[in-house]
């Protein structure tokens, strides 16, 4: 509920306090938390009037347990996933990513972000609820014990400022003896096998919470749709260009899938972070592919690249973070995809993503069309993906939908 939708401006209410929202007649609408200092003055936690404990330990534990059972039912068993996705799991502003550690998933790391005053206000309750959840899941599913669980709070996100709370440096709440949280090996869904794939990542200081879990469904979709086109290239080696590669999730998954059908690959990864490229090298080489890392800005430095590639992946970080950035960010997406298509060989495959929630699917389609027109290339789009099912979407909360991924073949 936005502040201008209220009958009167709330005053004297501490940000994050429990609030009941009522109609002018007094009829109950919802219970949640309020923030008189934010444009979003009220966030719904429950529409059930009798659920009086929704923001207490029992209510938060119940929601986390329900969220975990949902991911378990989706098949995220001892595979890293998003355990809690804010509004979709009835805990607005709470992000909890669970990382199972390689080699056997007997240890785990929870990385938590608290993006609203309402959830930040209940920080200690959330931590106690997670401890209780770990204890129960160990008994029910044989998941790691609390002793084998680490917890990191990653409140180093600009979204907190929108709710009037400060960004914080990452903090380790609980460690696992002998485990480095800045150089961990996590288990992720494989794009081609039922067995999980190990990735080396920095959970303490890497982007987001250390890894982009929302791409899990898209990597598998790409492998399924591109196997036949790649095989028709009849090449002994497939050249992959991974733009904004971060730790090489796309190129590692693609290279591993290609090797499973006896096709070798050579990866060129471009990223602005030298440390991210070091992780990408380790991950790509772990599946037997050759790796070349290029440190640079894809918007500025791609013009000097003249080699062509069989697969080009464009997966930049969010280039639009506010409405005023939409024109500039949209132009940046056009630039990146124009360069991606320039560097793609005839019959090659393009995978293009945007994680900017303020850029709609229709607008993203316009970006791709403009890029293709600039390069005078014909792209047959054969698949469209979205965020992984552990990042569920509510139709009544379209702001929760952020990821768009299109997969196409050029000049065929």
Q: What is the CATH number of the domain that holds 231?
A: 3.40.50.150
Mention every residue, 6+ apart, whose C-beta is less than 8 A from residue 153: 112, 113, 114, 123, 168, 170, 171, 173
Question: Which of the 8 DSSP states describes residue 26?
Answer: -
One domain, residues 218 and 356: yes
One domain, residues 62 and 37: no
Q: Residue 106: phi, psi to the nearest 5? A: -85, 0
Rounded distance between C-alpha atoms, residue 147 and residue 385, angstroms: 38
* Cis before 103? omega within 30: yes
Per DSSP, what are the bridge partners of residue 152? 111, 172
Encode pLDDT of 133-166 as tens digits.
Answer: 999 999 999 999 999 999 999 999 988 998 889 9
pLDDT at residue number 227:
77
pLDDT at residue number 1:
87
Per DSSP, what are the bridge partners of residue 100? 108
Mention every residue, 6+ apart, whose C-beta is less than 8 A from residue 98: 80, 81, 82, 83, 108, 109, 110
One domain, residues 333 and 355: yes
Find the CATH number of the domain harbouring 108: 3.30.750.80
Domain that holds residue 26: 3-46
Rounded distance between C-alpha atoms, residue 356 and residue 101, angstroms: 29
pLDDT at residue number 96:
98
Q: Residue 287: phi, psi to the nearest 5? A: -105, 15
Helices of type H across 142-243: 159-162, 216-232
Low-confidence ranges of the chain (pLDDT < 70): 230-235, 412
Asked, for residue 81, whether it belongs to a domain, the answer is: yes
One domain, residues 143 and 248: no
Asked, for residue 236, whether it belongs to a domain, the answer is: yes
pLDDT at residue number 231:
67
One domain, residues 85 and 165: yes
Mention every residue, 6+ apart, whose C-beta is less than 8 A from residue 245: 251, 269, 270, 271, 276, 277, 280, 313, 315
One domain, residues 180 and 291: no
Mention every residue, 6+ apart, whose C-beta is less than 8 A from residue 317: 207, 244, 355
- CA-nearest of 108, 186, 111, 183 to 149 is 108
Asked, for residue 131, whether it belongs to a domain, the answer is: yes
pLDDT at residue number 233:
63
- CA-nearest of 115, 124, 73, 127 to 91 is 115
Q: Count CB atoms within 10 A of the CB of residue 195.
A: 10
pLDDT at residue number 339:
96
pLDDT at residue number 236:
75
Encode pLDDT of 190-238 as tens digits.
Answer: 999 999 999 999 999 999 999 999 999 999 999 999 877 766 665 678 9
CB 210 within 8 A of CB 246: no
Biggest CA-to-CA distance, the chain: 73
**Structural domains counted in the chain:** 3
One domain, residues 182 and 62: yes
One domain, residues 121 and 242: no
Asked, for residue 105, whether it belongs to a domain, the answer is: yes
One domain, residues 400 and 256: yes
Rounded distance between C-alpha atoms, residue 216 and residue 203, angstroms: 17
Question: Of the residues 46, 65, 80, which one is the last residue of a structural domain?
Answer: 46
One domain, residues 130 and 82: yes
Asked, for residue 197, whether it belongs to a domain, the answer is: no
Encode pLDDT of 239-256 as tens digits.
Answer: 999 999 999 999 999 999
Asked, for residue 201, whether it belongs to a domain, the answer is: no
């Amino acid at each position: 509920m936005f502040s201008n939708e209220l009958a009167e401006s709330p005053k004297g209410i501490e940000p994050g306090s429990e609030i009941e929202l009522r109609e002018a007649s007094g009829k109950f609408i919802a219970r949640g938390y309020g923030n008189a200092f934010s444009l979003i003055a009220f966030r719904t936690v429950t529409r059930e009037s009798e659920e009086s404990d929704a923001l207490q330990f029992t209510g938060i534990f119940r929601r986390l347990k329900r969220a975990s059972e949902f991911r378990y039912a989706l098949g995220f068993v001892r595979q890293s996933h998003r355990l809690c996705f804010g509004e979709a799991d009835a805990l607005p502003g709470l992000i909890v990513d669970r990382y199972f550690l390689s080699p056997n998933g007997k240890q785990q790391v929870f990385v938590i972000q608290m993006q609203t005053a309402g959830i930040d206000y209940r920080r200690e309750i959330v931590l106690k609820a997670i401890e209780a959840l770990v204890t129960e899941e160990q008994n029910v599913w044989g998941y790691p014990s609390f002793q084998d669980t680490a917890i990191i709070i990653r409140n180093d996100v600009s979204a907190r400022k929108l709710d009037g709370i400060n960004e914080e440096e990452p903090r380790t709440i609980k460690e696992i003896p002998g485990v480095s949280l800045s150089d961990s090996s996590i288990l992720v869904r494989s794009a081609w096998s039922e067995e999980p794939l190990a990735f080396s990542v920095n959970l303490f200081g890497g982007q987001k919470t250390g890894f982009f879990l929302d791409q899990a469904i898209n990597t598998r979709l790409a492998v399924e749709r591109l196997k036949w086109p790649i095989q028709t290239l009849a090449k002994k080696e497939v050249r992959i260009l991974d733009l904004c590669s971060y730790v090489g999730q796309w190129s590692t998954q693609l290279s591993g899938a290609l090797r499973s059908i006896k096709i070798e690959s050579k990866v060129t990864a471009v990223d602005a972070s030298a440390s991210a490229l070091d992780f990408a090298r380790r991950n790509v080489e772990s599946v037997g592919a050759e790796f070349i890392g290029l440190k640079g800005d894809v918007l500025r430095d791609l013009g000097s690249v003249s080699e062509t590639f069989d697969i080009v992946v464009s997966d930049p970080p969010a280039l639009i973070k506010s409405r005023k950035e939409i024109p500039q960010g949209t132009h940046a997406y056009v630039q990146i995809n124009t360069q991606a298509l320039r560097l793609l060989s005839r019959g090659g495959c393009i995978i293009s993503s945007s994680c900017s929630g303020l850029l709609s699917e229709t607008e993203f389609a316009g970006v791709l069309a403009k890029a293709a027109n600039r390069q005078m290339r014909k792209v047959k789009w054969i698949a469209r993906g979205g965020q992984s099912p552990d990042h569920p979407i509510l139709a009544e909360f379209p702001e929760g939908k952020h990821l768009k991924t299109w997969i196409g073949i050029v000049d065929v």
